[in-house]
Structure 1
Amino acid sequence: MKNVPPASASHNHHLLLSLKDKAIAIWLDWLVTVHRPRRLAAVQERRIRRARANAVISAGHSHSLALRADGSVACWGDNDNGEAPPAGVEGDFVAVAAGRDYSLALRADGSVACWGDNDNGEAPPAGVEGDFVAVAAGSGPGSGHSLAVRADGSVACWGRNNHGQAPPAGVEGDFVAVAAGLDYSLALRADGSVACWGDNDNDQAPPAGVEGDFVAVAAGTQHSLALRADGSVACWGDNHFGEAPPAGVEGDFVAVAAGSGHSLAVRADGSVACWGWNNAGQAPPAGVEGDFVAVAAGNRHSLALRADGSVACWGNNTFGQAPTDASRLGELNGTRFMTL
């Protein structure tokens, strides 16, 4: 038998490098084809959960709502129409929505409680029975329509319908979230696209809808926002104050809110980005630092919920809708708010 000379050290070294390269290649392929999609899916799922959790706080024209940890609703600000009773509203609620001069709250059993102005049938005192999973209230001058997503994905509508924003027969579809602006409505489909109906004078509600991979929507007075799965924000509609830049807003955002002329978005690090109308300090260009998990935008005031269950306010406080003094904030934060 012929003797085979032992492999040289150089040969062994090259063999090990070759095996190492193959191992790295296999590992990289796993990262790209298996791990990265899983990681992205997990990130997007967290973003969806955080975006939907935004429903625990809401800002109307001049009043504010927040869901307490015990399921009751705290109210502060203008109460001329009974939209923000100082004692709050007791109940087993899971979401809130503040309209122009009225309020909605979704109960754990799927029914909706309503209080405040009901001139257009937007807030019937007896509430609205149903198997609902999400609610929205119109929040512009003269606006008075309400939306609720049923468990089967269809949308129920009631209240003012002068622009087709609240058809009494509702809207069929596979929807998971809704938003109501001034005389127009948005609904997020399960596939990530957005359906729009109602007034479209400023392109805030294009009848053909908006295609995209969205996880949340927000409706201002006449501008719309949608949060993409990658964390960026798409904007359309009125941009008079820079509240809806056509190119959108890049960032790693997890929640959005639209007011009369300003926009807010919570970053993954908990800080809040602001753009648009800032005449009352409702949208400081530098943003607001903090450990926030949810935001809400009213006419000229803003709210943000911290991870510890306390609330921060800024902007117009004429009616006590956005207090910044320590004593009033101490009262509001005396009972922990729900953070989901």
Structure 2
Amino acid sequence: MPFMQHHFRFLMCVFPIVVLGVSCQSQMEAPAEALGVVQSALGPCTTDVQGIGEPFMGWVALKTDGSVWMNRPGGGNGTTTKAMKVEALGNDVKAIANVDGESQTYCVIRKDDSLWCWGANSNGQVGDGSGVPEIAEPVKINIPGDKVAEVGTGGWHSCARTIAGRLYCWGQNTYGQMGDGLVNGDADALTPREVTALGDQVAQLSVGFEHTCTLMKNGSVYCWGHNAYGEIGDGTSQEIKLEDGIKPTPVAVTALGTDVAYVSAGGFYTCIIKKSDKSLWCWGDNTEGHLSTGDTVNRAVPTISAGAGPWLHVDTGVAHGCGVKTNGSVWCWGRDRHGQLGTTHPTTEICPGIGQMCAHTPQAVEGLSSGAKWVSVKDHGACALLSNGDLKCWGAGNFLDGGGPSNVPVLVDYCDLCEASSCSGAKPVCGWSGTCETCKEDIQCPEATPACLEDGTCAQCSSGNSTACLNTNTPLCDPSTNVCVGCITDDDCYGSNKIICDSATKQCRECNSDADCPSSAPACQPSGLCGECSTSNLTKCVAPLSICEPTSGTCVNCVQDTDCTEDNPYCDTQANYCRQCLKDEHCPRERPFCDLSGYYCTGESSGGDGGTEDGPAAEPQEGRYGACAGCVTAGARQGPWPSGLVLAVVALWIRRRRPLV
């Protein structure tokens, strides 16, 4: 059955195929045979760049500082938008999605090897278990061991490879995409499920539209899922035999043996590069010539490309592919509706049955005859990273710097675009223009100041947006300052005893002055509560409770030592009472021990050191803050006994108790 007829719904929906970072990424653990495809910081700021869903939705990039930038959906239909930083990820990302087609489900691997995804979630392809249609911000996805080396999202399913070499998949399972033998929508997985048949031998992963392929550590390839056009590669297809249209468990592509260096799963086809001679082989749907075999005949087994190698890297999209040869030249083939082949003079023709331009053999991309290290393909375009630090893109446009469309590669420079943290004041928003500018709507403003005002600045709140004030002790928006406050007038204060709005702090208080307080608590404290006393009102504080404790507003005996008399010179700050002693060091030699039951000095130990000033407080006893028995006379020595005197006394005691001989 022709590609367009059988999958018209897919082309209308234009959903993506995303695979994270294995193709050409140094941070991913690609096998040593991967033909020297090494991702590094090739540009002045770029580590990796990938396409995202639909023709005009642009690209996503990973900068050398670990930040992720993307043309967010919404700038479509040809509207030019520049990349913006994904602020929620900070500068903590080590790998982004390698897009084999297009996607609106995005995943990244953070520097601690954890997996985070967001975006379209209609079949649970985000993997957080919620099942809600869309996840707006990145969420952590639980993979056993939390050590992820690679992740990919296809049309409605996703898979991830762990550092240990195990594979997990989640999302839609209509065509057996989970690889666990189950089929139909009832078997969809909202959270990752292990593909146990592969054990711990997976070296590289590539997710296609509705099928998945893995390169094993021994150089063999296994595929499973949708097989209407032979994209599994085992010689079967739905076109040959109806029941072979679905392969729900991994199937070995035996024709390749163990001679594979790299695999890339596209829309409904697959391509690999061999280890031995670096030749390019493809199989599956070929409606638009995207197998590069020189025709439009579907293949159920690997077939060598009409483009001579040796090849360094290949990336496949929905209906076109691109590759880099070992001499650094870039070549593309297949669909050419939006200039995605990168040339003004392609060897193209009208593909049978679909009426669109396409090329059946690899075409040289203009201006990229050398120097390329890696290429990334999306449905309507491609980008190449060059060894001299340049990033060049071609196709439908909306490149990271807002450029395009272009039928030939153009230089893309997005390194100096603004980010939210660099914009403030009169121009608080990092806009689609890539520069700091005034806001036009609330959604542009940062979380801390989410309200866009008429003058284009962002504030904590406005007359039409007080969300930042909700569920706080400042529930109202002050129109004069656009700041969340507790009250604006006394009418905003009700309940309990806080009935007055302080005009300075805009908080509800019990009092602003002593005149607002009752006779039982006549002093207005700085906190706005009425109490027994304040530093300026001691009318209720009489001896021995003649001092005001400012925090509680209560009358006490002392707050600090200077409040105490010579007879009881130490303030117990827990009970706010003056004591003769709080520890042994406070006592004279005649009575060297502090009895903490009454806080007085005595000649008998109560069982140890008298403790510290932080010890438990006792209630005051009669006469304790007046004269005391055994008080030291004037001129008596304070403090502990001299150590020499103590030793002499002990020695005399021992001698007196020695038995007579």
The TM-score normalised by the length of structure 2 is 0.35
| 2-structure distance, mates of 1:65, 1:243 | 25
2:253 to 163, 166, 170: 170
1:57 to 71, 96, 99: 96
Task: Tell me by how many angstroms 1:155 deviates.
Answer: 0.5
2:290 matched residue in structure 1: 204
Q: Provide Cα deviations, 1:238-284, integer angstroms capped at 9, x if missing partner.
A: 11211124222414222211111111111224442111123797873
Q: Provide Cα deviations, 1:163-217, integer angstroms capped at 9, x if missing partner.
A: 1101434343311211111110001111321110101111111233243121211
1:158 matched residue in structure 2: 224
Read off the aligned partner of 2:269 and give its amino acid letter. Answer: Y
Read off the aligned partner of 1:289 and give its amino acid letter. Answer: D
1:247 to 357, 361, 364: 364
Q: Match of 2:116, SS?
A: strand
2:205 to 135, 139, 146: 135
1:185 to 265, 270, 274: 270
CA spacing shift, 1:223–1:95, aligned 2, 3 Å: same
CA spacing shift, 1:199–1:123, aligned 2, 3 Å: same
CA spacing shift, 1:197–1:46, aligned 2, 3 Å: closer
Note if contact 2:158-2:169 (Cα within 8 Å) is conserved in structure 1: yes
Q: Match of 1:185, SS?
A: strand
Read off the aligned partner of 1:244 and give its amino acid letter. Answer: L
1:7 matched residue in structure 2: none
| 2-structure distance, mates of 1:73, 1:232 | 34
1:83 to 125, 128, 131: 125
Note if contact 1:262-1:283 (Cα within 8 Å) is conserved in structure 2: no
Relative to structure 2, which stretch is displaced further, 219-228 or 116-125?
116-125
Q: CA RMSD in A?
A: 3.0
| 1-structure distance, mates of 2:227, 2:395 | 28
Relative to structure 2, which stretch is displaced further, 172-181 or 152-161?
172-181
2:385 matched residue in structure 1: 266
Question: How many residues were matched structurally?
Answer: 248
1:288 matched residue in structure 2: 412
Task: Tell me by how many angstroms 1:327 deviates.
Answer: 5.7
| 2-structure distance, mates of 1:230, 1:77 | 38
1:68 to 104, 110, 113: 110
Note if contact 2:96-2:109 (Cα within 8 Å) is conserved in structure 1: yes
Once the two structures are superposed, the pairs formed by residues 116-131 of structure 1 within 5 Å of their partners are 116-124=171-179, 125-128=192-195, 129-130=198-199, 131=201
1:18 matched residue in structure 2: none
| 1-structure distance, mates of 2:210, 2:204 | 17
CA spacing shift, 1:218–1:199, aligned 2, 3 Å: same
Q: Provide Cα deviations, 1:35-93, integer angstroms capped at 9, x if missing partner.
A: xxxxxxxxxx9962228x96932145212122111111221221222222442324211
CA spacing shift, 1:253–1:76, aligned 2, 3 Å: farther
Read off the aligned partner of 1:208 and give its amino acid letter. Answer: I
Note if contact 1:96-1:105 (Cα within 8 Å) is conserved in structure 2: yes
| 2-structure distance, mates of 1:261, 1:62 | 15
Task: Tell me by how many angstroms 1:109 deviates.
Answer: 1.5
| 1-structure distance, mates of 2:267, 2:172 | 16
Q: Provide Cα deviations, 1:115-166, integer angstroms capped at 9, x if missing partner.
A: 222221123453223301111111xxxx300000011111100100111101
Q: Provide Cα deviations, 1:300-326, integer angstroms capped at 9, x if missing partner.
A: xxxxxxxxxxxxxx9xxxxxxxxxx79
CA spacing shift, 1:105–1:270, aligned 2, 3 Å: farther
Task: Tell me by how many angstroms 1:233 deviates.
Answer: 0.9
| 2-structure distance, mates of 1:112, 1:243 | 32
| 2-structure distance, mates of 1:269, 1:326 | 37
Q: Write out the 4+ residue segments of structure 1 that deviate beyond 6 Å after TM superposition.
A: 279-283
More helix by share: 1
Greater relative CO, 1 or 2 (CA 8 Å, sep 6+): 1
Note if contact 2:329-2:364 (Cα within 8 Å) is conserved in structure 1: no
Relative to structure 2, which stretch is displaced further, 182-191 or 161-170?
161-170
Structure number with greater Rg is 2
CA spacing shift, 1:81–1:232, aligned 2, 3 Å: same
| 2-structure distance, mates of 1:156, 1:136 | 11
2:587 matched residue in structure 1: none
CA spacing shift, 1:234–1:326, aligned 2, 3 Å: farther
Gaps of 5+ in 2: 1-33, 41-46, 51-94, 129-137, 180-191, 235-250, 294-302, 343-362, 416-431, 433-443, 448-661
| 2-structure distance, mates of 1:254, 1:159 | 31
| 1-structure distance, mates of 2:178, 2:266 | 16
| 2-structure distance, mates of 1:79, 1:326 | 26
Task: Tell me by how many angstroms 1:288 deviates.
Answer: 2.6
Q: Match of 2:173, SS?
A: coil
Note if contact 2:35-2:261 (Cα within 8 Å) is conserved in structure 1: no
Note if contact 2:105-2:153 (Cα within 8 Å) is conserved in structure 1: yes
Read off the aligned partner of 1:73 and give its amino acid letter. Answer: L
| 1-structure distance, mates of 2:324, 2:106 | 23
Note if contact 2:104-2:119 (Cα within 8 Å) is conserved in structure 1: yes
Read off the aligned partner of 1:224 and give its amino acid letter. Answer: G
| 1-structure distance, mates of 2:288, 2:205 | 24
Note if contact 1:149-1:177 (Cα within 8 Å) is conserved in structure 2: yes
Note if contact 1:274-1:283 (Cα within 8 Å) is conserved in structure 2: no
Gaps of 5+ in 1: 1-44, 292-313, 315-324, 329-340
The TM-score normalised by the length of structure 1 is 0.65
Read off the aligned partner of 2:111 and give its amino acid letter. Answer: A
